[in-house]
Copies of this chain bind each other. A is one copy, B any other.
Amino acid sequence: MNKGQLLYEGKAKRLYQTEQEDILFVEYKNSATAFNGEKKAEIDGKGILNNRITTLIFERLKEYGIDSHFIERISDNEQLVRKVEIIPIEVVVRNIAAGSLAKRLGVEEGTPLKRTIVEFYYKDDALGDPIINNDHIDILGIATKEEVETLYELGLKVNGILQPIFEDVGVILVDFKLEFGRDKEGNVLLADEISPDTCRLWDAETKQKLDKDVFRRDLGSLIEVYEIILSRLGGK
């Protein structure tokens, strides 16, 4: 499979066409960004770690029956994925109050929620990824009612799989963000990445943050904590 034209350069990854119309090359960059791109840094080794962690997670999800765009990891910082039409909705699943939820509801960070909740954000950098409800999604015309239900259900389902996987290795899955896309047949497929860039992960004992909050809040070495996650998941 050869790397063709660069299709899209995002904040954390580059997408390239391959010779096969419906398969893409994803190259994980070393860039770290936060606060809608306001804070930026290049961090050696980050791309490799996220490529490996995302791979492990998509493989585990596959075992539990969750299809994703993931095909295979083909180098340190590259993987092949199925091309989809991304639904511009960030599906955020939360088990414990943190970040914007703690602020929104005036709840102390770390408070367990009565139950797992799902939020939708409009994936639009220029608008700052605003939170939206089902009526907003409807008038924006970005997903059908059935798709919205699917996103909600898949969000909870992925959580139900990942929470115990992390728990088994002493990590609390606080919250995470998923992206989905439509394949050529219109099936909704889990896409993008699942990594410490897109999850909040806390050590179960020490409550140490093992995710991008280390970068957002200047709490130490991002590489060190991402390596902890990789090794806890059985990778190296």
Which A residues form the contact surface with B (CB < 8 A)? 103-106, 113-115, 117-120, 122, 124, 126-127, 130-133, 135-136, 138-141
3 A-B pairs with the lowest CB-CB distances in the bound complex, closest first: A117-B135, A104-B130, A114-B139
Alpha-carbon gap, A45 to B135, bound state (A) = 37
Q: Can you name the residue of chain B whose Cβ is closest to the Cβ of A135?
A: B117
> Can you report 29 residue pairs joining A to B where beta carbons are below 8 Å apart?
A103-B127, A104-B122, A104-B127, A104-B130, A104-B136, A105-B122, A105-B127, A105-B130, A105-B132, A105-B139, A105-B140, A106-B124, A106-B126, A106-B127, A113-B139, A114-B138, A114-B139, A115-B139, A117-B135, A117-B136, A117-B139, A118-B135, A119-B133, A119-B135, A119-B136, A120-B133, A131-B131, A131-B133, A133-B133
Query: Closest B-chain residue to A94, C-beta based?
Result: B135
CB pair B138–A115 under 8 Å, yes or no, is yes
